[in-house]
Amino acid sequence: MDKQIIFEDEHIRVIFLKGTSSELVISFGDLISRAKGLTINAEKSLIKYDYNVLGIMPKLKSWFPQASMQQMMESVQPILNQFEHIVGYGGSMGGYAAIKYSKLLKMNRVIAFVPQFSIDPQQVEDRRYAEFFDVNLNRDMQIQSTDVETQAEYIVVYDPYYKEDREHYLKIKKVIPNLLTLKLPFTGHEALSVLASSSLLNDFIRHSYDQGYFYQQMRSVKKNSKFYYRTVIANLMSRHSAALGRILRNNELHLDDQYFDANLKQLITRVMLSRRQVTEQDLQKLGIKVNLPTSQQEANDQLQDNFGHHLVFNLISHKLESYLADAVQLNNKYLIGIHAKNSGIVKIVINAERYIVAMNDRRVMKLFKDEDALTTDMSPILIKKYADYFVLSYKQLSLNSDEHGICTFTENSVQDAEKFKTI
């Protein structure tokens, strides 16, 4: 593998990877894939097809300052002169650079995933990257018509429902009216990760633009991408929860238990438990493992929050949560009610055995059999009885239940959201 650094300053490192292709690919790094040794963005995929590659890798989160890019030109010009077909490629910050410097680098085609128009807070409402804006480096560095090669093809892939990226896309489209667009709904800013595929990248570089063909190839990649389902589920849950049911019904998912992080597992199970009865098959598809005991709940003294939700311990997420009564009834093997008569330790009953609900300072909850010793990092959650309400506490914190049934421990003085009453 013939690689060499041909230019470097404090902001960028430019690496030439010699291949046998008739095309030159200019691959831009992003915030994550910054300069590290001789590594080039998308290197494995590009090497697979033996492309000639200029890897322009950022060393800092400085959005490829114009001064650095201009200084680079003396070193890269001899390489550019060897090729008639030049393709730029990048995502996010790299997608911005691929468009911004397309004319300077004599590109014939640009493939930009979720690119920015600018990071100047005076030019965009998006504040995700405002902290990286340096007026001395990035002044007037928005994408402008003078940056655009009129004969080149510009292909942008983005999620039209993701507000922040949509703003950038619409501003870029004003500069490039003939912008070619491929939409990837409900993936947020993760389009490049969702569509990570050597064959698809090869198509983007070499195949003549055919929207139908590209959508077909994108669908094929999505279908086999676990990351796609994880991203879509995370972005859909709060707005389109019914979509999860369709995903589960229409796809033979077999995810492992590490596929979703703890927060996403909790979000998914909350939506599923709130909207419909959960099946063991659903949980298995999502890689969510849980013991399914036969709960024996007391008939009286069920705790209820200020919004009329029943307080429960969720055996799937291992969290205290609140649900409407019908959701608890439908899913009573997962949602174990919290009952109280007096002050004491929070306990639940499973298979005729009593369990203490304990938590550590990282907010991780565990169950301990009544007769078992706690581990040194865990402390029991307490119930405190007052004249006409109960409060659940962990050390100096009190349990708060909001209108959505999300329960968190806070340091606030006891307000209505911290008061629970028995039914």
Final residue before a domain boundary, out of 201, 229, 257 = 229
Claim to verify: residue 249 and residue 313 sit in the same structural domain: no
Check if the beta carbon of residue 48 is closer than 8 Å to that of residue 40. no
E-state strands within 114-213? 153-158, 180-183
Residue 295 domain-assigned (yes or no): no
Check if the beta carbon of residue 185 is closer than 8 Å to that of residue 160. yes
Three-state DSSP class for 393? strand
Report if pTM > 0.95: no
Range of the structural domain that residue 150 is part of: 3-229
- Helix runs in 33-162, H state only: 43-48, 66-80, 93-100, 135-138
Claim to verify: residue 38 and residue 150 sit in the same structural domain: yes
The crossing angle, in degrees rounded to 10, of helices 226-236 and 262-275 is 60
Residue 168 domain-assigned (yes or no): yes
Residue 294 domain-assigned (yes or no): no
Residue 293 domain-assigned (yes or no): no
Residue 408 domain-assigned (yes or no): yes
- Determine how β-strand 153-158 pairs with β-strand 310-314: unpaired
Claim to verify: residue 45 and residue 13 sit in the same structural domain: yes
CATH code at position 343: 2.80.10
Q: Which residue has the tokens 């999620």?
A: 159
Claim to verify: residue 219 and residue 244 sit in the same structural domain: no
CATH code at position 163: 3.40.50.1820
Claim to verify: residue 163 and residue 253 sit in the same structural domain: no
Query: So what's the pLDDT on residue 62?
Result: 95
Claim to verify: residue 353 and residue 220 sit in the same structural domain: no
Claim to verify: residue 62 and residue 209 sit in the same structural domain: yes
Claim to verify: residue 195 and residue 65 sit in the same structural domain: yes
Residue 298 domain-assigned (yes or no): no
Claim to verify: residue 213 and residue 345 sit in the same structural domain: no
List of the chain residues with pLDDT < 50: 292-299
Q: Total domain count for the chain?
A: 3
Query: So what's the pLDDT on residue 192?
Result: 87
Claim to verify: residue 221 and residue 261 sit in the same structural domain: no
The crossing angle, in degrees rounded to 10, of helices 242-250 and 226-236 is 160
Query: So what's the pLDDT on residue 245?
Result: 65
Claim to verify: residue 173 and residue 318 sit in the same structural domain: no
Claim to verify: residue 272 and residue 348 sit in the same structural domain: no
Residue 194 domain-assigned (yes or no): yes
Query: So what's the pLDDT on residue 281?
Result: 72
Element (DSSP H or E) covering residue 44: helix 43-48
Residue 11 domain-assigned (yes or no): yes
